[in-house]
Chain A
Amino acid sequence: MSSAHSSASGQPASLVNRLNLQQYVVYLGFLVIFLFFAIVLKDSGFLTVRNLSNIMLQTAPVTIMAIGLVFVMSAGEIDLSIGSTVAVSALAAAVTVNDYGLGAGIIAGIGAGLLIGLLNGVLVAYVKLPSFLVTLATLGLFAGVSRSMTNLRSIPVTDSTFTGFFGSGSFLGVPSLIWWTVVAVACGHVIYRETRFGAHVLATGDNSRAASVSGISVPRIRLAVLLISGGLAGLAGLLYAGRLQAAKYTLGETDLMTVIAAVIVGGTLLNGGKGTIIGALVGSLMMGMLNNGLILMGLSVSDQMIVRGLIILAAVAVSLREKSR
């Protein structure tokens, strides 16, 4: 904040240009990667309706988690625990849905996510521990829980209503996973952009002291964003369980990096105060497309990881450059 006062009254015009560019980086990147794959992979089936809709379906859980992370990061916090929340929620849902039916399964799955969010939230907001360390710890903790819950076994989900609702089903000719994505993005966007809560999340991440003296309950905002993130990671777990018709401790294990990358590439600042839900959606589709395209190009798993790592690095560089000016 102290540097704020010393900023000069005049500003170079190029700043404005850079700001605008940064805002649209994700759309540009999306377009470039899409065109690249469309040309390079035109004989490998990248452009088929089936492949493109597959990308959308596979991306759904990542997009849902990314929405939660936009709220968390905008408030100046981070949630690493989503990586293991997904598996815990999917397993909790799988176990209950088989024995007690659809409703119990949904409650158990989302509930598990909310409970993890509550634990993170209380530790961050009221015990005042840094969210990075808290959620790093709970990431490990619940990765262990999901393993011990099932002795590393996979739990099949047999309830066809459940798998239809969260996975393979469709409504009005549109796959349910796309419905979930659309509804979550729309609700997330409106809450983030158009409500007092969204404004208070941004203010908290931007300048928590200013938020606090303006009468905003900063601890309550911190608790709320971690609850949202936990709940949405729980929903992502249900979507995995529904689509794969089974739950296993490995679910979501590799998603954490993808989600963080999608959110940052999408234009949400790592340090809070600025973000976008739509950008996170496009960022997540971009990551999904990248995954798909690299596989179709025949890259080895290790090469895929390297390319993805480089893209994340570039995204972080753009994000931090914007922040530090």
Chain B
Amino acid sequence: MNANVSAANEPVLKLKDIRKTFGGVTAIENFSLDVHPGEIVALVGDNGAGKSTLIKIISGVYTPTSGTITIENQTVAMSNATMARGHGIEVVYQDLALADQQTVYMNMFLGREPVNRFGLLDRRRMIAETETLVKELDVRIPSAHATIRDLSGGQRQGVAIARATHWASKLILLDEPTAALGVAETAKVEEIVESLKRRNIGVLIISHSLDQVFKLSDRICVLRRGKQIGIRETAKTDKNEIIAMITGLQQH
């Protein structure tokens, strides 16, 4: 975290000329984007525009065909999701990737459970850290001991974001975080996302809701058919321009 503060204007993530092809089909071409600490960048585009491919490239699931990924001035080559996590990048997947019958605290530490000196699970630490974080982010769950399946959709989303926040030191990718939520729950999750800015990590959010994009983001990046159409500062654009860029009615 300290490194981030000292280099506040350095991007946490820098994508340069990213290109990805599957066989002969080009999924992404000439994509470049910087995400700075404490900044929320929205990635918008129609279905099939390449947003998911891009998320998978950043999260290490796909390796780009060409182009470079730089994380805090260090060019990285990632070949799986574990490596991306090692670089401080966390993803909140659309399906949340929660184990439904396990407790909130076990999900928070899934795959990274702390153990004591006897090699046994350090439940006390997991519960304490979960409770602290859940309180900080104001995710209203009954307790760290609650089972995921007993939580509402918004609470689950909150747990998934809290988990990403706990482990991400640089960047969080949010894939449609409110697609399955009701109005009140969406508002709650948006609040949580907004509070991530204060943690000085970069946030890249995919959303179909332009209202949400305009409410949350600092900048908007538009993709269409694998091509980067443009990046706009949210304060200096409007919905009409973004819609035109998404649909292709306005060529820049």
Measured CB to CB, the residues of A under 8 A from B are 1-2, 4-11, 15, 190, 194-196, 199-200, 202-203, 206-207, 209-211, 213-216, 269, 273-274
Decide yes or no: A195 and B120 within 8 Å by CB, A1-B95, A7-B152, A274-B101 being known contacts: yes
Query: How far apart are B130's CB and chain A's nearest CB, in angstroms?
Result: 14
| Bound-complex Cα distance A88 to B148 (A) | 42
Please give me the 4 A-B residue pairs with the lowest Cβ-Cβ distance, nearest first.
A214-B111, A9-B152, A206-B99, A5-B180
Taking CB atoms, residues of chain B closer than 8 Å to A207 are 97-100
Decide yes or no: A273 and B101 within 8 Å by CB, A7-B153, A211-B111, A214-B110 being known contacts: yes
Taking CB atoms, residues of chain A closer than 8 Å to B112 are 214-215
Taking CB atoms, residues of chain B closer than 8 Å to A199 are 102, 106, 110, 113, 121
9 additional A-B residue pairs with CB within 8 Å, beyond A194-B121, A199-B102 = A9-B185, A194-B120, A207-B97, A207-B100, A210-B96, A213-B91, A215-B82, A215-B85, A273-B100
Q: Is the CB of A216 within 8 A of B110?
A: yes
Which of B185-229 touch A at CB < 8 Å? 185
B156 close to A (CB within 8 Å): yes
| Bound-complex Cα distance A200 to B107 (A) | 11
Q: Is the CB of B153 within 8 A of A5?
A: yes
- Beta-carbon nearest neighbor of A16 in chain B: B150
Taking CB atoms, residues of chain B closer than 8 Å to A206 are 99-102
Taking CB atoms, residues of chain A closer than 8 Å to B110 are 199, 203, 210-211, 214, 216
Query: How far apart are A12's CB and chain B's nearest CB, in angstroms?
Result: 11
User: By the criterion of a CB under 8 Å from any partner CB, how many residues of chain B are at the interface?
Assistant: 33
Main secondary structure of the interface of A (DSSP, over half): helix
Our pick among A5, A196, A215, A273 for the contact of B81 (Cβ within 8 Å) is A215
Taking CB atoms, residues of chain A closer than 8 Å to B154 are 9
Taking CB atoms, residues of chain B closer than 8 Å to A216 are 110-111
- How many contacts between A and B, using CB within 8 angstroms? 93
Our pick among B98, B101, B113 for the contact of A196 (Cβ within 8 Å) is B113
| Bound-complex Cα distance A5 to B81 (A) | 24
Main secondary structure of the interface of B (DSSP, over half): loop
Our pick among B102, B121, B152, B185 for the contact of A273 (Cβ within 8 Å) is B102
Q: Is the CB of A209 within 8 A of B102?
A: no
Q: 21 pairs across A/B with beta carbons < 8 Å?
A: A5-B96, A5-B153, A7-B149, A9-B153, A9-B154, A194-B121, A195-B115, A195-B119, A195-B121, A196-B113, A199-B113, A202-B99, A203-B99, A203-B106, A203-B111, A207-B97, A213-B91, A213-B97, A215-B82, A215-B85, A273-B100
Q: Is the CB of B120 within 8 A of A4?
A: no
B62 close to A (CB within 8 Å): no
Interface centre among A1, A6, A206 (most CB of B within 10 A): A206
Interface centre among B81, B98, B101, B156 (most CB of A within 10 A): B101
| Bound-complex Cα distance A200 to B115 (A) | 13
- Beta-carbon nearest neighbor of B114 in chain A: A196
B31 close to A (CB within 8 Å): no
Taking CB atoms, residues of chain A closer than 8 Å to B106 are 199, 202-203
| Bound-complex Cα distance A115 to B81 (A) | 33
Query: How far apart are B109's CB and chain A's nearest CB, in angstroms?
Result: 8
Taking CB atoms, residues of chain A closer than 8 Å to B155 are 9
- Beta-carbon nearest neighbor of A209 in chain B: B97
| Bound-complex Cα distance A206 to B147 (A) | 12
- Beta-carbon nearest neighbor of B115 in chain A: A196
Query: How far apart are A153's CB and chain B's nearest CB, in angstroms?
Result: 46
| Bound-complex Cα distance A316 to B156 (A) | 29
Query: How far apart are B94's CB and chain A's nearest CB, in angstroms?
Result: 9
